[in-house]
Amino acid sequence: MLSSHMRSLRTVGRRLFNTDAGQFPAAKQRFIPTSGNYPKGFYAGGSACGIKKNGKPDLAVLLSDRPAVASAVFTTNQFCAAPVQFDRQLINGAREAGAPVVRAVVTNSGCANAVTGKQGLVDAKLMSEAGDRFVSRFSGSAVGGSSSLVMSTGVIGQSLPVEKISTGLDGLEVGEGHDMWMRAAVAHMTTDTFPKLLSRRYQGGFSMAGITKGAGMIHPNMATLLGTICTDANVSQEMLDRALKYAVARSFNAISVDGDMSTNDTIAVLANGASGAAIGEEGFVEFRDALTEFMAELAALVVRDGEGATKFITVEVRGARSFEDAKHVASTIATSSLVKTAFYGQDANWGRILCAVGYAGVELDTGAVDMSIWPGDGGRPLVLVEKGEPRLPLDEVRAKEILVLEDVKVVVDLGVGQEMARMYTCDLSHDYVSINADYRS
């Protein structure tokens, strides 16, 4: 629990920074919350510890006032970063022990601690130990064993300046309020143009809050770069694992910006039970679906901030024989460079979409396929293909009215089943090349 010392702590020399939404691009400000409903027993904070050359915020902490059940999904990139390896071992150890152990997630931006050899693993452990010391100061008593997950994002192949992180934690303040959560979200950012923070309160008596970061190197599996979701629901390890597996397939593993999979991708969920809302088998589906919806909304923020993106594109595939078939077709469309560049050019070149459907590797009845594009403003959709036949002549005026919008949905009905899946992607612009051509500078 929170000690009286930490309640009154106002650390000397801490680096405050502006979290006002007005500093971020005007077009993105509508995605930045000005208040929130945050889960009980969780504290957040962020600071600048000197990892980033420009002096911007680069260190964040999310902390629970009691041990939390933790579940996570990680990148499948074989060059997985040291923090990924460390966190996987910590969470698996908690599963084997059958008891919650995680108290904090410590995140740095500016250095990925990836492809850093044996020293990278040493540094990840030292970073976790620094987090444990922070938790001990917070609670007023020593924590036993490793209790801090670590996440790193930034440039690959550079050694992690652990001493800066350790010193930065000495001067970092955490709190329960919205501004402190915003500080943590801002400290996650690299090429992001806005902080990605979301919170919700649910009728079941529990709340969720989540922070994610990412704008490039976004593609399943995993496709989050980094993300942490905190809930005060009381849920078992087995149920949390099951809920996350279901939710991630329909959220963070359903987004793509550029087809590149990071070495550091991690999405973690912490549940500390502070609300007293117990999740049993009867309430499991409700909790699972709430987590899925929450994660899908959080993941969508990553796509909306895709490097150089001007469009948010939902690809919905219906009428499939299985969820896996629908997901595969949707993913093939969402990752097609020809489709993405056509959206950037506002070009109704629907043949590129149908072509992607055809080479997705899923058995089709081509005479049953329907395809349409839907405007994000809720207006009239435009049917492009019906029962495998083009709807001619193409209504170029309506197509332009739809494609000029920021939000566009592609709907493909395969006509062979009842299953559906969505993918979320963005267009591919000139700016994407510009941003990634000089990333290290």
- Count of other CB atoms within 10 angstroms of residue 171: 15
Distance CA 163, CA 108 (A): 12
Strands 266-271 and 59-74: antiparallel
On whether the CB atoms of residues 426 and 312 are closer than 8 A, the answer is yes
C-alpha closest to that of 230 among 199, 186, 184: 199
In this structure, what are the phi and psi dihedrals at residue 293, rounded to the nearest 5 degrees? -65, -40
Terminal-to-terminal C-alpha distance of the chain: 43
The two three-digit tokens of residue 212, written as one number? 């994610």
Strand partners, 69: 271
Dmax of the chain from CA atoms? 73
Residue type, 24: F
In this structure, what are the phi and psi dihedrals at residue 46, rounded to the nearest 5 degrees? -155, 160
Residue type, 180: M
The two three-digit tokens of residue 206, written as one number? 């529990």
What residues have CB less than 8 Å from 381, skipping those under 6 apart? 372, 373, 374, 375, 402, 411
Residue type, 120: G
Strands 419-426 and 255-256: parallel
Total number of residues shown for the chain? 441
The two three-digit tokens of residue 223, written as one number? 């496709």
Distance CA 343, CA 233 (A): 41
On whether the CB atoms of residues 276 and 318 are closer than 8 A, the answer is no
DSSP assigned state of 217: S
Q: Which entry of 19, 107, 153, 224 is annotated as an active-site residue?
A: 224
Q: In the annotation, is 190 catalytic?
A: no
The two three-digit tokens of residue 34, written as one number? 């000005």
> Catalytic positions, please?
224
